[in-house]
């Protein structure tokens, strides 16, 4: 993966670094010449995501829960806080853990950044917009979130993390940035994590019906992981505070996504409709004007190409 980084980092700490997006960040930073400390409690991250990095010079793996503390010895100049369950299946299974990662975990990573004088980047989410009444969603939109619904443990944890990050920047002068990620997908996703792309790919490769919720007309905007990582690192290097949307503005309905996965896998699977989850957003699409104008960033990998790469990875994994 080619990632342009206009600021040179000596040592980056990536919390949640054994997770899906976090492990790709670790790889990109190492490739750019930075030493990387990956912090993960493996509640949702996978050891195999970072196993190939263990023999790389400059890579350190620390097993720890960020809500309890960060036992990082070497002071970093970049802290990327990506530790949190991120799929509905995970945060509904780990509701309190999710909220602790967004609250105490964010506080602890901010403290590390403050003590080291490091740049701090918070991984927030398009979920802060809830079931949006503005479409597409721009950063100035405050969102439409149910604070006591089943998804609130994740939505409100990220919203609190944003508020905490902003307050620390104001009160302590920490160099912070908030990135709001939209529906990232790609290699290293877990087949049973509950999100649409890995679920559809897993089902199609197994010849099972693809489970589409509701009538399938709800939309998402899928951003391939290489593009997401490039956007995050561009925001880190730029010095902007954000929040800034990092996502692909090309929308697709869940039914069309299921049909595309079936086509690309050559599967004989059909579609099976199931009940739509409570508070499931009807639409989701980022306005990326800010990222384009300030960062010179926009996604480069289209849905068909990104899905082909993802399907190839799942096929390879199944062959192991």
pLDDT, residue 3, reads 42
List residues bridging with 184 in a β-sheet. 223
| Cβ–Cβ < 8 Å for 169, 241 | yes
| pLDDT over 50 (residue 2) | no
- 205's tokens: 């490769």
User: Mind telling me the catalytic residues?
Assistant: 154
Q: What is the pLDDT of residues 275-285, one digit of tens each?
A: 998 888 889 99
In this prediction, residue 320 has a pLDDT band, given cuts at 50, 70 and 90, of: very low
**DSSP state letters, 144-212:** B--TTSTTHHHHHHHHHHHHHHHHHHHHH--EEEEEEE--EE-TT--TTS--HHHHHHHHHHTTPPEEE
Give me the chain's average pLDDT, please: 94
Percentage of the chain surpassing pLDDT 70?
98
Q: What is the pLDDT of residues 146-196, one digit of tens each?
A: 999 989 999 999 999 999 999 999 999 999 999 999 999 999 999 898 899
CA geometry: angle 236, 241, 247, nearest 5 deg? 65
**CA–CA dist 66, 83 (Å, integer):** 7
| pLDDT over 90 (residue 256) | yes
Of 3.40.50.720, 3.40.50.300, 2.60.120.10, 3.50.50.60, the CATH number of 11-185+223-248+283-300 is 3.40.50.720
Q: In Å, what is the CA distance from 139 to each residue of 4, 129, 153, 234, 315?
A: 24, 9, 21, 17, 37
pLDDT, residue 6, reads 59
Q: What is the pLDDT of residues 220-246, one digit of tens each?
A: 999 999 999 999 999 999 989 999 999
**CA–CA dist 208, 9 (Å, integer):** 45
| pLDDT over 70 (residue 263) | yes
**CA–CA dist 198, 210 (Å, integer):** 11
pTM: 0.94
pLDDT, residue 8, reads 86
Q: Give the start-to-end residue ranges of the domains of the chain.
A: 11-185+223-248+283-300
In this prediction, residue 4 has a pLDDT band, given cuts at 50, 70 and 90, of: very low
Angle between helices 303-318 and 196-205 (to 10 degrees): 50
**CA–CA dist 112, 247 (Å, integer):** 28
Percentage of the chain surpassing pLDDT 90?
89
Tell me what the mean pLDDT of segment 47-59 comes to. 95
Q: What is the pLDDT of residues 57-116, one digit of tens each?
A: 999 999 999 999 999 999 999 999 999 999 888 999 999 999 999 999 999 999 999 999
Query: Within its chain, how far is the Cα of 207 from the centroid?
Result: 28
């Amino acid at each position: 993966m080619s990632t342009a980084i206009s600021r040179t980092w000596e040592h980056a700490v990536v919390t949640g670094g054994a997770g899906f997006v976090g492990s790709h960040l670790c790889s990109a930073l190492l490739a750019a010449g930075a030493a990387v400390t990956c912090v993960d409690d493996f509640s949702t991250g996978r050891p195999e995501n970072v196993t190939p990095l263990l023999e790389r010079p400059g890579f350190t793996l620390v097993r720890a829960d960020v809500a309890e503390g960060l036992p990082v010895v070497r002071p970093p100049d970049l802290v990327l806080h990506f530790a949190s369950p991120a799929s509905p299946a995970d945060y509904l299974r780990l509701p309190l853990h999710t909220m602790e990662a967004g609250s105490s975990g964010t506080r602890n990573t901010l403290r590390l950044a403050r003590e080291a004088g490091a740049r701090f980047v918070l991984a927030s989410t398009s979920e802060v917009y809830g079931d949006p009444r503005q479409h597409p969603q721009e950063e100035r939109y405050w969102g439409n979130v149910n604070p006591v619904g089943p998804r609130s443990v994740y939505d409100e944890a990220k919203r609190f993390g944003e508020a905490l990050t902003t307050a620390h920047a104001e009160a302590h002068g920490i160099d912070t940035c908030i990135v709001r990620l939209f529906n990232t997908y790609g290699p290293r996703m877990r087949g049973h994590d509950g999100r649409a792309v890995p679920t559809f790919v897993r089902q199609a490769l197994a010849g099972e019906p693809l489970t589409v919720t509701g009538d399938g007309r709800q939309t998402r905007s899928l951003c391939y992981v290489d593009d997401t990582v490039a956007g995050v690192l561009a925001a880190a290097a730029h010095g902007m505070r954000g929040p800034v949307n990092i996502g692909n503005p090309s929308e697709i309905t869940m039914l069309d996504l299921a049909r595309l996965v079936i086509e690309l896998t050559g599967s004989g699977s059909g579609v099976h409709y199931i009940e739509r989850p409570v508070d499931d957003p009807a639409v989701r699409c980022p306005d990326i004007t800010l990222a384009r104008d300030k960062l010179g960033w926009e996604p480069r990998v289209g849905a068909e190409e990104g899905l082909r790469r993802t399907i190839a990875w799942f096929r390879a994994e199944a062959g192991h």
